[in-house]
Structure 1
Amino acid sequence: MTERLQPPHGSGQKTARRRGARSRAGGPRGPRTVPADTIGEPTILGFPADVPEEGTALPQPELIVLKRPDRVAGGALVLAGVAANLSLLLSWSTGEGPTGLALLQRSVEGLGAGVAEWAGGGVWQPFVVVASGGLLVVLGLLLLVPARAHRLVGLVALVVALGCAAAVVLLLADTGWTLDRYGAGMWCAVAVPVLGLLGALKAMLTTPLVTLDAR
Structure 2
Amino acid sequence: MTERQQQRPPGYGAGAAPPPPPVDVAAEAAPSVLGFAPDPAEDDDEDVEPVPDGTTVAGVAAGPGRLAYVRRPDVVGGVLLLLAGVADGASVWLPWERGEETTGLHLVVRAVDAAREGVDELGRTGLWQPAAVALGGAVLVVLGLLLLRPARGHRVSGVLALGVALAVAAAVVARLVDAGWDVHRLGPGVWCAAAVAGLGVLGALKAMLTAPRVTTAPAERLPVG
Common fold: TM-score over 0.5: yes
Q: Deviations over 1:164-190 (max 9, x none)?
A: 111111111110111122222111111
Give yes or no for the alignment of 1:92 onto 2:93: no
Partner of 1:79: 83
Partner of 1:144: 148
Preserved contact between residue 80 and residue 191 of structure 1 (Cα < 8 Å): yes
Preserved contact between residue 179 and residue 186 of structure 2 (Cα < 8 Å): no
> SS state of the match for residue 121, structure 2?
helix
Partner of 2:131: 127
Partner of 2:159: 155
For the residues of structure 2 that align with 1:202 and 1:82, how far apart are their CA atoms? 19
> SS state of the match for residue 117, structure 2?
coil
> SS state of the match for residue 91, structure 1?
coil
Give runs of aligned pairs for residues 11-160 of structure 1, distance below 5 A. Answer: 61=31, 62-160=66-164
For the residues of structure 2 that align with 1:103 and 1:214, how far apart are their CA atoms? 56
> SS state of the match for residue 136, structure 1?
helix
For the residues of structure 1 that align with 2:92 and 2:157, how far apart are their CA atoms? 26
Q: Percent identity?
A: 54
Larger fraction in helix: 1
Partner of 2:199: 195
Give me the CA root mean square deviation: 1.7
Shift of 1:96: 2.6
Shift of 1:136: 0.3
5+ residue gaps, structure 2: 1-28, 32-65, 220-225
For the residues of structure 2 that align with 1:145 and 1:118, how far apart are their CA atoms? 37
The aligned length equals 158
Preserved contact between residue 81 and residue 137 of structure 1 (Cα < 8 Å): yes
5+ residue gaps, structure 1: 1-58
1:108 aligned partner, one-letter code:
V
Change (3 A) 1:71 1:214: closer
Partner of 1:30: none
Q: Deviations over 1:69-111 (max 9, x none)?
A: 0011011111111111111111112223411111111111111
Runs of 4+ in 1 over 3 A off after TM superposition: none
When normalised by structure 2's length, the TM-score is 0.67
Preserved contact between residue 152 and residue 204 of structure 1 (Cα < 8 Å): yes
For the residues of structure 2 that align with 1:60 and 1:187, how far apart are their CA atoms? 54
Q: Deviations over 1:128-168 (max 9, x none)?
A: 00000000000000000000000001111111111111111
Preserved contact between residue 69 and residue 145 of structure 1 (Cα < 8 Å): yes
Give yes or no for the alignment of 1:173 onto 2:177: yes
For the residues of structure 1 that align with 2:135 and 2:85, how far apart are their CA atoms? 9
Bigger radius of gyration among the two: 1
For the residues of structure 2 that align with 1:214 and 1:74, how far apart are their CA atoms? 28
Preserved contact between residue 85 and residue 138 of structure 2 (Cα < 8 Å): yes
Preserved contact between residue 60 and residue 214 of structure 1 (Cα < 8 Å): no
For the residues of structure 2 that align with 1:132 and 1:178, how far apart are their CA atoms? 25
Change (3 A) 1:109 1:151: same
Shift of 1:60: 5.9
Shift of 1:214: 5.8
